[in-house]
């Protein structure tokens, strides 16, 4: 079931019922004014009474259609309410419409780099030992992730590693890992 179509039907039916009720209210008002003005025997008054208040087939059909429309309107409202509750409770629901977009998800590229396979091996044992006294553990994914932007700045400034800077290919790989979401 498409929630967008249910909402469109619900709105259309609501507008139709509102129009019916408006006509009903105006007819009742005109009948009241007609009674006060003592014109209740005029042909217009008789037509209004026939549609609005008389228990004849035309008036009964009108009221039955209005009742059925109101019942369907209520049923559609319950469907919309339940689907909205489900949407809030469970982010991926089968009932979606244009005003309920799919939640944004981070894209994981097929060629995304990971720390374990691609970045960790770039740091030599001597690099890890040299940076530990400075409070940076290059063998730890969490530590490198937390300090990634600082590490990148030091790599591009050729301050890391201590015995000479990385080549552009290694720096580019590190930058690609940072930009790709820093996968473990």
Render pLDDT for 4-24 as a digit per residue (tens, 0 to 9): 777 787 788 788 877 777 777
Q: Quick one: average pLDDT of 132-157?
A: 87
- pLDDT value of residue 93: 46
Render pLDDT for 20-52 as a digit per residue (tens, 0 to 9): 777 777 777 776 666 656 656 677 677 767 666
Q: Is the pLDDT of residue 175 over 80?
A: yes
Q: Is the pLDDT of residue 1 over 70?
A: no
Q: DSSP characters for 30-41? A: HHHHHHHTT-TT
Measure Cα distances from 104 to 2, 100, 107, 178 in Å: 21, 12, 9, 20
SS3 57: helix
Contacts of 9 (CB under 8 A, 6+ apart): 76
- pLDDT value of residue 57: 66
DSSP 132: G
CB under 8 A, 24+ apart: contacts of 52-60: 52/24, 52/27, 52/28
- Domain positions in the chain are 3-89, 115-179
How many Å apart are CA 123 and CA 108, to the nearest integer? 24
Q: Which of 75, 34, 72 is nearest to 53 (CA)?
A: 34
Are residues 171 and 155 in contact, defined by beta-carbon separation less than 8 angstroms? yes
Are residues 4 and 97 in contact, defined by beta-carbon separation less than 8 angstroms? yes
- pLDDT value of residue 164: 76
- pLDDT value of residue 55: 63
Give the total residue count for the chain: 184
Lowest mean pLDDT segment, chosen from 21-30, 106-115, 151-160:
106-115
Q: Quick one: average pLDDT of 78-105?
A: 59
Render pLDDT for 141-151 as a digit per residue (tens, 0 to 9): 999 899 888 88
Lowest mean pLDDT segment, chosen from 52-66, 71-85, 100-114, 116-130:
100-114
How many Å apart are CA 132 and CA 47, to the nearest integer? 95
């Amino acid at each position: 079931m498409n929630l967008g179509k249910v909402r469109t039907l619900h709105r259309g039916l609501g507008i139709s019922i509102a129009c019916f009720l408006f006509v009903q209210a105006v007819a009742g008002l005109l009948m009241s004014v007609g009674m006060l003005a003592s014109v209740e025997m005029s042909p217009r008054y008789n037509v209004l009474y026939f549609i609005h208040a008389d228990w004849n087939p035309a008036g009964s059909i009108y009221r039955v259609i209005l009742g059925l429309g109101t019942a369907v309107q209520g049923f559609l409202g319950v469907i919309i309410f339940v689907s909205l509750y489900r949407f809030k409770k469970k982010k991926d629901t089968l009932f979606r419409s244009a005003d309920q977009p799919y939640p944004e998800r981070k894209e994981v590229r097929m060629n995304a780099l990971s720390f374990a396979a691609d970045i960790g091996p770039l740091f030599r044992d001597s690099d890890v030992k040299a940076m530990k006294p400075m409070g940076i553990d290059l063998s730890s994914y969490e530590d490198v992730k937390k300090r990634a932007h600082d590490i990148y700045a030091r790599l591009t400034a050729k301050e890391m590693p201590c015995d000479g800077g990385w080549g552009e290919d290694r720096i580019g790989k590190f930058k690609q890992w940072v930009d790709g979401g820093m996968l473990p």
